Structure 1
Amino acid sequence: MILDILFPNRCLGCNRIIDADFLVCEICFEQIDFTHFDYFGDNFIKEKCKLLFPVEQASGLMQFKKENLSRKIIHELKYKNREKAGKVLAQWTSERLNFKDRKPDLLVSVPLHSRKQKERGYNQLHLFTEKLSEFYGIPFDHNLIKRNYYSKAQALKDKKHRLETENTFSITKAITGKHILLVDDVFTTGNTVATIAWEILKAGNNTVSVLVMAIDI
């Protein structure tokens, strides 16, 4: 309580003091570039994924543009120790995404290397995925996919190095006949989710869908 008084939570858009559980005020919320994609229809991210692997469905919550509020939210989540932002993003997702009667069987988030996770203190996708699991009643598995190599952040890599993802990930256990929803933060080239998707597809008679927090378009 004292910390809330001394260091109040402020809107990421306008710096106004807001409730501790919020990211932005009501006014700035209207400035967020939500995608409004149809999960079951054709959309930008689904078309991109189709070029890389046989995707079932795909969607993203926000647009990730230069200097926009969505980008600031993601950066706060990943690099400014705002892990709880994942909970808010999950809430926003649940208000916009309806799986109807075709829910995936399992939620799987893109893993960090153990060294990277130790440095950051958390995986920015875990709380987001866990809250989605609660909202939709879908189990999650943070350990199904293993990242084999330590590397610097995607945002710090040039495009050439982002494409170098061969053998980056591996499956840690047998899995077959499952519809897996692969969860990531930002979709850029799509190579990360494609690399993981192919590992899942090769593991058995599985299908893969994709959900991301933001799409770099």
Structure 2
Amino acid sequence: MMLDLLFPNRCLECNRIIDADLAVCNLCFSHIHFTHFDFSGNNILKERCLLLFPVAHAFALMQFEKENISRKIVHELKYRNREKIGKMIAGWFPQYLDFKGHQPDLLVSVPLHPRKQRERGYNQLHAFTDALSDLYGIPADHGLIKRNHYSKAQALKDKQHRLQAENTFSLTRSITGKHILLIDDVFTTGNTLATIAWEILSEPGNTVSVLVMAMDE
């Protein structure tokens, strides 16, 4: 209580004092660029995914434009030790996401390498994914996929590193005949999601959909 009085939580955009569980005030929330994508139909995220791997459905909640509010919110979640922002973002989804009969069987978030997770102290996607699991009644599995290398695959350039990047992720157990929703914070190149998707699709009968908090330009 004393810390809240001395260091009140402030809106990331306008600096107004707000509730401790929020990231932006109501006025600034109204300025967030939500995509209004249809999970069951076609959208630009699905088109971008299809260039990399077979995807059944795709959904991004927000646009990740330069200097906009969504970028500030996601960066606060990832780099400022505010894991509970993930739960807050998940709470926005029921207003914008309806699976319309295409509900996945399992939620799977992109894993961090164990070393990276120890350094950060948490995986920014876990609280978010668990909250979505509760909201939609879909089980989540944080252990299905493991990251095998600490280095960032997208930054690796030479042949040896490209070969290593192909094995960045692996399944920890066999899974078949499931519709799996892959979850990440931001879709940029899509390389990370593609690598994981191909691992899942290598098992018989699986289909993959994608959900991200935000999609980069």
Q: TM-score range by the shorter chain?
A: over 0.9
Q: Number of matched residues?
A: 213
Please state how far the C-alpha of 1:4 moved relative to its aligned partner. Answer: 1.4
Q: Which residue of 1 aligns with 2:55?
A: 55
Secondary structure (helix, strand or coil) at the match of 2:73 reads: helix
2:208 maps to a residue whose letter is V
Secondary structure (helix, strand or coil) at the match of 2:57 reads: strand
2:192 maps to a residue whose letter is T
Is the deviation greater in 145-154 or in 10-19?
A: 145-154
Say whether the 8 Å CA contact 2:60–2:213 is kept in structure 1.
yes
Runs (4 or more) in structure 1 with deviation over 3 Å come to none
- Distance in 2 separating the partners of 1:26 and 1:124: 23
RMSD (Å), alpha carbons: 1.6
- Map of 1:201-216 to 2, 5 A cutoff? 201-216=201-216
2:148 maps to a residue whose letter is N
Say whether the 8 Å CA contact 1:186–1:212 is kept in structure 2.
yes
Give ranges in structure 1 of 5+ residues lacking alignment: none
Please state how far the C-alpha of 1:152 moved relative to its aligned partner. Answer: 4.7
Please state how far the C-alpha of 1:67 moved relative to its aligned partner. Answer: 0.8
- 1:144 is aligned to 2:181: no
Say whether the 8 Å CA contact 2:182–2:208 is kept in structure 1.
yes
Q: Which residue of 2 aligns with 1:127?
A: 127
- Map of 1:101-180 to 2, 5 A cutoff? 101-152=101-152, 157=155, 164=162, 165-180=165-180
Identity of aligned residues (%): 70
**What TM-score do the two structures reach when normalised by structure 2?**
0.94
Say whether the 8 Å CA contact 2:55–2:208 is kept in structure 1.
yes
Please state how far the C-alpha of 1:94 moved relative to its aligned partner. Answer: 2.2
Please state how far the C-alpha of 1:153 moved relative to its aligned partner. Answer: 9.2
- 1:35 is aligned to 2:35: yes
- Map of 1:5-24 to 2, 5 A cutoff? 5-24=5-24
- Distance in 2 separating the partners of 1:153 and 1:74: 21
Please state how far the C-alpha of 1:99 moved relative to its aligned partner. Answer: 1.2
Secondary structure (helix, strand or coil) at the match of 2:180 reads: strand
- Distance in 2 separating the partners of 1:44 and 1:71: 19
